[in-house]
Every structure is written in structure tokens, then in C-alpha cells.
A and B are shown apart, each in its own frame.
Chain A
Amino acid sequence: MSSREDILQSIRRNTRVRYEKPDLSGLEHEALTYEDKLSKFCEILKQVGGQAVILKDKENVNDMIKAAYPEAKRIASTIKEIKTGNTIQPITCSTFHPDDVENSGDLDGTDVAIVDGRIGVCENGAVWLTQDVEQRAVYFISEALVIILDRNNLVNNMHEAYKQIDTGEYGYGVFISGPSKTADIEQALVMGAHGARSVTVILI
């Protein structure tokens, strides 16, 4: 008999009381909500070490990115343009597309990656990214991450977030809440363990 059959048989033999699947609707209904989602999201993102900036009318997103990371030379972008109201702003500050490289390791040394955020979660400052390029390393390997997020796509909590997301065609998605961090040496908090040292979410 295969291990699969052995294990399933052992489960059948040993399972005792069968509990019903709980109804989560009460909890989901009761869960935290915020009156001002935009300011809550900005506040929590700051607490987890990131920063949120709101793109104002007539402000250019490229200027904003260049002002935030003036030293950046290698800038990858997974998006060509952003839409704000009726206007379209092309992303002109990037120097390459992440799928232009031959190997994922060639992305090492990327200063800034500009990526598309799908959903922002107010209770924890996390943004949901769905893999939309072949080299998903770009979300982690660059020194700084700039996430473009539509301010209308903010949700209160994780229950609401999970109702709206999917992992898309590539079959990979991730919530990112601020920069990579560790406290493994004497519990001192250090940003930039392996992933981005700095995360900026631009709300459009």
C-alpha cells in the first residue's frame, strides 16, 4: 500500500468527534472598520516602517519617485502608465522592464522597482500584489519598492481583502506590509533583511 493510502487510512481510523465548519459571517460583520480608510492606511504603513504618499492633482508620479529616491540608477517598472481621473501618466523614470533580464539573478543591484498594488489593507498596511511579470524576484530583490495603489482599493481588514483577491495567471500573490525586516540579533529591529529596505506606497 502506498504512503498516501496508509496516511489516509490512519486518519480515518483515528478521527473521533467530527466538528462542523464554523460560520464566519458574524465575525466578518463585526470586524474592525475605519471611518477614514485613507488616513488609517497611511498611519499603519508608517508604523510598520513604510511610507504612504498621496498623489495630488496635477502632480507627476515620476517626479515623486525621483524625489523619494534621488540616487537611484537602475529602476525597474512592471507598469507602463498610471491613470488618475481622466489623465494618463506614463512611467518615464524607469530604466528597464524586469523581464528584459536573462536570469532572475541579474535583477540584483536594482535600486528601485515600481510595481502595481491591487488591494491595500488598512488594519495592517499590507498591499496585495499579484504576480504580473515572469521574474517575480523583482518584488523582493530591489533595494526599494514603490507600489502604485488606487486609493479606491483600500479595504478595512483581511476578511474583506480575501474576498477580493486571486493569484492570477502566474499563480502567485503576496501581501507586503512595509520593508523587509528582522530582529534576530538581540531583538534590535533592522530594516532590509533580504527584501526591500524601503517601501513607498503611492496612492493615486
Chain B
Amino acid sequence: MSTKHSKAAGKFLENKGLAAWHDETLWMVRAKRDKVSKEVPEWEHLRDMASAIKMYSNSHLEQLLMEFEKNALANGAHVYWAKDADEYCSIVYNILKGHQVKHFIKSKSMLAEECGLNEFLENKGIEVVESDLGERILQLMHKRPSHIVLPAIHVKKEEIGELFVREMGTEPGNNDQTYLTHAARKNLRRKFIEAEAAMTGANFAVASTGECVVCTNEGNADMGTSQPKLQITAFGMEKIVPDRDALGVFTRLLARSGTGQPITTYTSHYRKPRKGGELHIIIVDNGRSRILADQEHVKTLNCLRCGACMNTCPVYRRSGGYSYTYFIPGPIGINLGMLKAPLHYYDNVSACSLCYSCQNVCPAKVNLADQIYHWRQQLHTLGVASSSKKLMSGGMKFLMSRPALFNFALKNAPIVNSLPRGMIYNDLNDWGKEREIPEFAKESFNEMWKKNKVK
């Protein structure tokens, strides 16, 4: 019955201290989200409108993307369309090659992760530097993000301290967060200034103005794009919004949901290339247009990538991002993985207790838990349902459709309470793994009811 997720989660939980810290810290972020969202009385109305704008824009993609393209071209930008990850990587590479770029500075982009951009460029001899602090730490450690907004949430400061001694020449043993952050500031400042091109993703692309909007706390997107004069911005096509009024809705929701801030420190609007510079914009499909036809899952395209569903998820908090087999973890990652390749990523659908918390905090009302439930119903059709679970639910069905047998079994169930542990907790009983079986009551509710014991 164990999935890849549950096995990896078991490993994560072996380090009890880190696991407890991970759980508590993300819960603290969730609590901050609750606090700031309650300061906005119209919060639920905002969520409704955010969802409605996304439902509108994702059902008018052709019109809005063409409007965006027209305006971006008029602003002096170059616009490209990439069908898939390979095409996206090639477009970026060709722009860099055409300008003899050797040093390339990037701000955080989940699209670049999705498409494997860094590996692609590094194999072609281009130095790629991540500039978001968490992403930079992971890049130097040769690791992947474990959370989409807090990428290095699973790494302890002692490991970062040791890494920075090697990479940035910091004092050995000084693991103070302020000291380490400022060491990285100094180190990356040279990288910003030396780079010949900078790249960002986009949180929003505005059709009516042809501008791309990027939200950061560190200011790394702006440090990058204000140094080299060559800027590349790429976005998945569901990032399109109709106009600036829509930005009024999303900028109020994004940071409040993700990190519990009233807004990110920087909300940057890139409309034109800099004087004497170039702005290249890549619109990426990579499977998104296919999702439009899937009525059960089309709302995944509403996602703002705020990370709120991860922070609130009891399974994510207690198992860590690396336990999931898709590069985006948590509730949204479970669904995006299944849309990408169900036979490859089905292990993740069990990483959910169907508590529905994700669905209730999502700022754009992605029906995350409904979708996970729906995927679970598909496991049999996909031929990957767990055989032991099927056997057990088959047995339960047999028992429950025979009242006499059911009552007999229930009456005798308390015998289990006094059996030796070895007879209950063994390889034959999957339900006894990693959990304690509850004690069976001496009397069932049915019996108590009949004896008039229930008041």
C-alpha cells in the first residue's frame, strides 16, 4: 500500500526535530495569512472576483493573448510563442547566443523549473545565476526547491553557513541569518553587475497594456533587469489578465495568501525595453491549452502560485516538498503532476487527507481537494489502484451489505483489543502500519440505542 510519497515522508519524519520545525513554521505562515485576510472585510468577495476573472481570462485566451502581443509589440518588445519546454529553452538560448551572453542572471521562475531551463543553458556553456536567496542557496547545493514560495524551507542555517564558507568566504561557524543574507547580498551584487542578460518570470501579463508584472520581496528581479540592458521575460499563458483593474484584485490577494504580507515589497511593471536595450517576452503553452478541454481540472489554470495550499496542508507540512514526485509539491502539485503524466505521478494523490483546507484558502478558488478526490476515482481506470486497498474495500463492501454478518463481526470485534500486538501489527494488516488501531468499544452504538442508553 505504501506509495513513493509515504516512503519518502517516512524518511523525512526520521529527523524529528526538523520535521516538527517544518510543520510549525509553515503553520505560522498560515496563521499570518489568516490574520491579514481577516483585516480585509471584503476578503471572500475578492476571492470570488479573482476566480471569476481567471475563469473569464482562461476561457478567452486567444483574444487576450493576441491583444497582449499587439500591445507588447507596440511597446517595442519582441514576442515569441513556445509550444513546449524544448521550444522555450531554445528561444532563450538563441536570444543569449545572438548577444554573446556568457553570464546570465535569473529571478525566480517556476516556469523555468518546469522546463529545465538552467540545465539546458549550462550544458551549452552559459553561466546561470539564480538571484533569489533561497534559489541561490539551492543552486549552490545542487538541490531543487521544496516549496514554490519558500524554496529552501527544508534547509537548516548550519548547512547554509557551511555552504557560504566555501562559496562566499564567510566566517566559519557564523550562521547568523542576517550575516549570511548580507554576505549573499554582497556576493550577488557583483553577479548582477557582471551579467549581460537578466531573466524574470511573470506573476501577471496584462493584455490591455502589454506589460508583465513581477512580485518579489528581495528586489532581485529589479536588480537584474536594471543592470544588463537585455531582458527576457517568460510566462505560462494562464498568467494573462485582461487589464489593470484585475491587478487591483490579484495584488491584494497574492502576498496576503502566500506569506501573510499586505503586498510584496516590489510589484514591478515592465512595459517597454530600457533605452538602448531589448525586452524579449516568451508566451509558453507546454500543455496548458490541453487542460482547457478538461472540465474536471480546468480550474488548476486559476492558480497564482502563492503557496497557500502548501502552508495549510497537514500532509505537506509533515512530509516536506521532496516527498512528492512532481517538482511542484502540495495540493496544487498533486493536481498539476496528474495533468502532466498520470502514470508517472499518481503516487502523490494519496498525500491528502481530503480535509479541504487548501480549497478554502486558495485565493483564486482552485477546487484542489475536489480534483484530488476525482483523481483517486480514476486510479482503477488508470490501472494503478492499490490491490490491497481494493481487497480491503471489497471485503468491507461484502460485510456491510450483510447486516447479520456485520453485527456478528461487530459484537466480536472487542476480542481484537486483547490480542497480542504481533497478531495485529504485522505484514498482513496494512492498516496497522504507521498508526495505532483504535480500541473497539464493548458495545456498539446500535446496541446502546436499542437499550435506550443514548440520551
Residues of B within 8 A of A137 (CB): 223, 226-227
B146-173 interface code vs A (CB 8 A; 1 in, 0 out): 0000111100110010000000000000
Q: Check B248 against A162 for contact (C-beta < 8 Å).
A: yes
Q: Check B292 against A179 for contact (C-beta < 8 Å).
A: no
**Residue from the list A14, A44, A105 in contact with B193, Cβ < 8 A:** A105
Residues of B within 8 A of A94 (CB): none
**Residue from the list A19, A163, A175 in contact with B267, Cβ < 8 A:** A175
Residues of B within 8 A of A13 (CB): 293
Q: Check B262 against A124 for contact (C-beta < 8 Å).
A: yes
Q: How many residues of B contact A (CB 8 A)?
A: 93
Tell me if B313 is interfacial: C-beta within 8 Å of chain A: no
Q: Check B218 against A180 for contact (C-beta < 8 Å).
A: yes
Distance in Å from the Cβ of A103 to the closest Cβ of chain B? 8
Q: Check A176 against B266 for contact (C-beta < 8 Å).
A: yes
Q: Check B222 against A140 for contact (C-beta < 8 Å).
A: yes
Query: Please, how many angstroms separate the alpha-carbon atoms of A121 and B292 in the complex?
Result: 36
Q: Check A172 against B271 for contact (C-beta < 8 Å).
A: yes
Of A3-11, A51-59, A64-72, A80-88, the stretch lying at the interface with chain B is: A3-11
Q: Check A11 against B272 for contact (C-beta < 8 Å).
A: no
Distance in Å from the Cβ of B440 to the closest Cβ of chain A? 43
Q: For A17, give the chain B residue with the smallest CB separation.
A: B59
Query: Please, how many angstroms separate the alpha-carbon atoms of A191 and B246 in the complex?
Result: 30
Q: Check A136 against B41 for contact (C-beta < 8 Å).
A: no
Distance in Å from the Cβ of B56 to the closest Cβ of chain A? 5
Of A24-32, A111-119, A146-154, the stretch lying at the interface with chain B is: A24-32
Tell me if B95 is interfacial: C-beta within 8 Å of chain A: no
Q: Check A123 against B262 for contact (C-beta < 8 Å).
A: yes
Residues of B within 8 A of A79 (CB): none
Tell me if A101 is interfacial: C-beta within 8 Å of chain B: no
Residues of A within 8 A of B41 (CB): 30, 32
Tell me if B376 is interfacial: C-beta within 8 Å of chain A: no
Tell me if B350 is interfacial: C-beta within 8 Å of chain A: no
Q: For A189, give the chain B residue with the smallest CB separation.
A: B177
Q: Check B220 against A194 for contact (C-beta < 8 Å).
A: yes
Distance in Å from the Cβ of B206 to the closest Cβ of chain A? 10
Q: Check B262 against A174 for contact (C-beta < 8 Å).
A: no
Residues of B within 8 A of A10 (CB): 285, 289-290
Q: Check A32 against B40 for contact (C-beta < 8 Å).
A: yes
Distance in Å from the Cβ of B442 to the closest Cβ of chain A? 48
Distance in Å from the Cβ of B339 to the closest Cβ of chain A? 13
Q: For B84, give the chain A residue with the smallest CB separation.
A: A3
Tell me if B351 is interfacial: C-beta within 8 Å of chain A: no
Q: Check A172 against B272 for contact (C-beta < 8 Å).
A: yes
Residues of A within 8 A of B348 (CB): none
Query: Please, how many angstroms separate the alpha-carbon atoms of A186 and B55 in the complex?
Result: 36
Q: Check B263 against A177 for contact (C-beta < 8 Å).
A: yes
Tell me if A178 is interfacial: C-beta within 8 Å of chain B: yes
Q: Check B269 against A173 for contact (C-beta < 8 Å).
A: yes
A-B contact count (CB 8 A): 254
Residues of B within 8 A of A196 (CB): 219
Interface residues of B in 28-68 (CB under 8 A from A): 28-29, 40-42, 45-46, 49, 52-53, 55-56, 59-62, 65-66
Residues of A within 8 A of B412 (CB): none
Q: Check A20 against B56 for contact (C-beta < 8 Å).
A: yes
Query: Please, how many angstroms separate the alpha-carbon atoms of A172 and B210 in the complex?
Result: 12
Q: Check B181 against A182 for contact (C-beta < 8 Å).
A: yes
**Residue from the list A4, A19, A124 in contact with B55, Cβ < 8 A:** A19
Tell me if B429 is interfacial: C-beta within 8 Å of chain A: no
Distance in Å from the Cβ of A99 to the closest Cβ of chain B? 10
Residues of B within 8 A of A14 (CB): 289-293
Q: Check A134 against B222 for contact (C-beta < 8 Å).
A: no
Interface residues of A in 112-167 (CB under 8 A from B): 121, 123-126, 134-137, 139-141, 157-159, 161-163, 165, 167
Distance in Å from the Cβ of A141 to the closest Cβ of chain B? 7
Q: For A135, give the chain B residue with the smallest CB separation.
A: B226
Contacts A19-B59, A141-B226, A194-B220 given; does A167 touch B45 at CB 8 Å: no
B235-254 interface code vs A (CB 8 A; 1 in, 0 out): 00100001011111101100
Contacts A185-B181, A186-B177 given; does A171 touch B285 at CB 8 Å: no
Residues of A within 8 A of B227 (CB): 104-105, 137
Residues of B within 8 A of A178 (CB): 265
Q: Check B285 against A24 for contact (C-beta < 8 Å).
A: no
Q: Check A190 against B181 for contact (C-beta < 8 Å).
A: yes
Of B112-120, B127-135, B353-361, B367-375, the stretch lying at the interface with chain A is: B127-135
Q: For A161, give the chain B residue with the smallest CB separation.
A: B248
Interface residues of B in 181-208 (CB under 8 A from A): 181-182, 184-185, 188-189, 192-193
Residues of A within 8 A of B265 (CB): 48, 176-181, 195
Beyond A16-B293, A180-B266, A184-B181, 8 additional pairs, beta carbon < 8 A: A105-B193, A135-B226, A139-B226, A165-B244, A176-B266, A183-B259, A188-B157, A194-B220
Q: Which A residues form the contact surface with B (CB < 8 A)?
A: 2-4, 6-8, 10-22, 24, 26-28, 30-32, 44, 47-48, 104-105, 108, 121, 123-126, 134-137, 139-141, 157-159, 161-163, 165, 167, 170-188, 190, 192-196
21 contacts between A and B (CB under 8 A): A11-B62, A17-B59, A17-B295, A19-B55, A20-B56, A123-B40, A124-B261, A124-B263, A126-B267, A140-B219, A158-B248, A159-B245, A170-B272, A170-B274, A183-B150, A185-B137, A185-B152, A186-B156, A188-B157, A192-B181, A193-B218
